[in-house]
Chains A and B, each alone.
Chain A
Amino acid sequence: MRRFALIALPYAWLLALFLVPFLIVVKISLSDVALSIPPYSPQFSWDEGIGAFLAELDFENFVFLTQDSLYWKAYLSSLFIALVSTVLTLMIGYPVAYGMARASEEWRPTLMMLIILPFWTSFLIRVYAWMGILSQEGFLNQFLLWTGIISTPLTILNTTTAVYIGIVYTYLPFMVLPIYAALDRLDGSLIEAAEDLGCSRLSAFWLVTIPMSRNGIIAGCFLVFIPALGEFVIPSLLGGSGTLMIGKVLWEEFFSNRDWPVASAVAVVLLLILIIPIVLFQRNQQRASEAD
């Protein structure tokens, strides 16, 4: 009985907080726009029966998504931006994590604190701070002008570059922490052994350190890639009108176009796209925990 309760609880959680809302979204994605409260039809009513209600649903909105090139471009562009940001975050995050793991014991808590410290401020405020840094009259341009590196201010804010900066900045801790955890557990004597056996320091790094931190790298990459794919706040605040991301398209459909059915269809497809990396991530985590 207790065992049953233990299993039932997480499933009930999933059912209430994921499956039910998802089914509601699916239902809206199958209906039509209407000028009413709420703005779609058919509304469900017990009097007319489930049959009549179901008969009015169709896949029109999904067909529409395939016909308008905007959506495919937005999905692809989001995938691309998420992928590039993940690689950039990894390239910056790995050395940081490596440095932390190599730092002396007494410094590590301080370094860890520095990574976590930005979370004490609201995410939104930090993104707004970047607007101040990157704008034409912002700190970055003022500084570069002052040093004489550039003579006219750079346009960074409201471009895709700003979106990359925002995503890399925001998700860097999610990359650093798992890699640090993996590197921290790394047995230093393995590297010594490799060096004793004739490896140069560089090849010891490639052949021992990187493979041993593989799980950390994979976890970090997923933790950055998955939220970056559906990111909305960063592209809408830092990005320009040329930055096409599916999170923004979804928002537009819902709030600007007031087309809930199409917005729901976009969300359903986005979820289907996200399921692949999430399942891969889950498997990787499982394998990692089995290996331990």
Chain B
Amino acid sequence: MRLHTLTMASLLALTSAMASADEVRVYNWSDYIDESLLEKFEQETGIDLIYDVFDSNEVLETKMLAGGSGYDVVVPSGTFLQRQISAGAFQKLDMSKLPNIENMWDVVAKRTEQYDPGNEYSINYMWGTTGIGVNVGKVAEILGEDAPMGSLELIFDPANMEKLAECGVHFLDAPTEMIPAALKYIGEDPDSQDPDTIAKTEEVFAAVRPYVQKFHNSEYINALANGDICVAFGWSGDILQARDRAAEADNGVEIAYNAPSEGALMWFDQMAIPVDAPNPEAAHTFLNFIMDAQNMAAASNYVYYANGNKASQEFLEGDVIGDPAIYPDEATLENLYTTTPYGAKVQRVVTRLWTKVKSGT
């Protein structure tokens, strides 16, 4: 009997120790941070950091809407954030716990207010554009030196795509990125909410669909870098990371990123705290750590995405702050567009269309 109570007591002690152990669970995009920052966070704060990754907004939204994800910090993009806020998935940030908020850049904050009015639920982590990654050598070899490497024609003109198919083309598996691009290509409003206008893109995709090897949101980084594919429509920093990996491997592959000359989608990835986060206190600590100027600069220097942190800019490397593909100049900025979330009815039209496009039926 005594042994029994003893075991019980130690069990109790153990469970309470586990409950009080400080840990924070972060769910971020894949290839999206300098991993030494994760160790630095643990050392500085003594909080255990559990870091998981995803590669699609849709998957994140499924987890958020299922509830009980167990994450303390998640990183949806603008339009998805807006939808999830209205579904009640996030809690308001406690600004008193975020002194580093003063580091943030008003230019970006003004834009993210479109999704999160007053920036009450989220802070900007990074932002970028969606565009074309090319294996310069291979594309020039196939389409000639004057190939439209910076134009949507490269990926939506069947004549080009037919030839490119042999070296491999990947598209993003993200209807909210691909449909606006196709709309832009046919001269429509990329942010159109009209089902009939959106339906017009089906033809655009159907014409090039046979030449797309895969719709995927993260495989193209390695595929481009290894020379397995020669064109990917993807996210700016990911393609720049592919460029770097190819240069490091010294395998003769030269990758370039081009924002489409017709106009490029500008997106914002926002850090937010789920309403049912197990440890909101530690989540705030994490957000504050990320908003530290030097930490944020380290992350951007590593992943080649611009951030919404003004104070970090002095710590950015020249090939990041000085690259108009990452920090666009005034002229490029004018060529960028943003989108708004689809309404429930339009959403179904979009997902239906996308499933059809991908399955080729």
Is B89 a contact partner of A37 (Cβ separation < 8 A)? yes
- Chain B interface, number of residues (Cβ within 8 angstroms): 35
Which of A39, A257, A258 lies in contact with B355, CB distance below 8 A?
Answer: A257
- Is the C-beta of B66 less than 8 angstroms from some C-beta in chain A? yes
Which of B58, B228, B354 lies in contact with A136, CB distance below 8 A?
Answer: B228
Q: How far is the CA of A259 from the CA of B352 in the complex (A)?
A: 10
Is A240 a contact partner of B173 (Cβ separation < 8 A)? no
Given contacts A69-B361, A70-B356, contact A37 B214 (CB under 8 A): no
Is B360 a contact partner of A242 (Cβ separation < 8 A)? yes
CB-CB under 8 A from B62, the residues of chain A are 39, 254-255, 258
B63-105: which have CB < 8 Å to A? 64-67, 83, 86-89
- Is the C-beta of A241 less than 8 angstroms from some C-beta in chain B? yes
Which of B66, B351, B359 lies in contact with A259, CB distance below 8 A?
Answer: B351
Q: How far is the CA of A74 from the CA of B361 in the complex (A)?
A: 10
Given contacts A39-B65, A73-B361, contact A256 B215 (CB under 8 A): no
Is B356 a contact partner of A38 (Cβ separation < 8 A)? no
How far in angstroms is the closest Cβ of chain B from A27?
Answer: 15
Is A259 a contact partner of B348 (Cβ separation < 8 A)? yes
Q: Which of A35, A39, A155 has the most CB of B within 10 A?
A: A35
Q: How far is the CA of A36 from the CA of B348 in the complex (A)?
A: 16
CB-CB under 8 A from B351, the residues of chain A are 256-259
Given contacts A244-B359, A259-B351, contact A36 B226 (CB under 8 A): no
- Is the C-beta of A158 less than 8 angstroms from some C-beta in chain B? yes
Given contacts A137-B228, A241-B359, contact A36 B58 (CB under 8 A): no
Looking across the interface, which residue of chain B has its beta carbon closest to that of A245?
A: B359
Looking across the interface, which residue of chain A has its beta carbon closest to that of B226?
A: A137
Instruction: State the majority secondary structure of interface residues on B.
Output: helix
Is B65 a contact partner of A36 (Cβ separation < 8 A)? yes
CB-CB under 8 A from A254, the residues of chain B are 62
Which of A135, A136, A137, A256 lies in contact with B56, CB distance below 8 A?
Answer: A256
- Is the C-beta of A252 less than 8 angstroms from some C-beta in chain B? yes
CB-CB under 8 A from A135, the residues of chain B are 226, 228
CB-CB under 8 A from B88, the residues of chain A are 36-37
Which of A35, A137, A256, A258 lies in contact with B173, CB distance below 8 A?
Answer: A256
- Is the C-beta of B244 less than 8 angstroms from some C-beta in chain A? no
- Is the C-beta of A33 less than 8 angstroms from some C-beta in chain B? yes
A106-163: which have CB < 8 Å to B? 135-137, 155, 158
CB-CB under 8 A from B61, the residues of chain A are 258
CB-CB under 8 A from B87, the residues of chain A are 35-37, 39
Which of A136, A240, A252, A253 lies in contact with B214, CB distance below 8 A?
Answer: A240
Which of A35, A155, A255 lies in contact with B344, CB distance below 8 A?
Answer: A35
CB-CB under 8 A from A70, the residues of chain B are 355-356, 359, 361
- Is the C-beta of B168 less than 8 angstroms from some C-beta in chain A? yes
- Is the C-beta of B212 less than 8 angstroms from some C-beta in chain A? yes
B30-74: which have CB < 8 Å to A? 56, 58-59, 61-62, 64-67
Is A241 a contact partner of B59 (Cβ separation < 8 A)? no
Is A35 a contact partner of B86 (Cβ separation < 8 A)? yes
A197-237: which have CB < 8 Å to B? none
B338-361: which have CB < 8 Å to A? 344, 348, 351-352, 354-356, 358-361
Binary flags per residue of B204-220, CB closer than 8 Å to A gives 1, else 0:
00000100111100000
A30-67: which have CB < 8 Å to B? 33, 35-39
- Is the C-beta of B227 less than 8 angstroms from some C-beta in chain A? yes
How far in angstroms is the closest Cβ of chain B from A243?
Answer: 9
Q: How far is the CA of A259 from the CA of B215 in the complex (A)?
A: 20
Is A256 a contact partner of B354 (Cβ separation < 8 A)? yes
Query: Would you list 7 pairs from A and B whose C-beta atoms are within 8 A, ordered by A residue?
Result: A33-B348, A35-B344, A38-B66, A39-B66, A241-B213, A244-B360, A258-B61
New contact pairs (10) apart from A38-B65, A70-B356, CB-CB < 8 Å: A36-B87, A37-B67, A37-B89, A39-B66, A158-B213, A241-B213, A252-B358, A254-B62, A256-B173, A258-B62
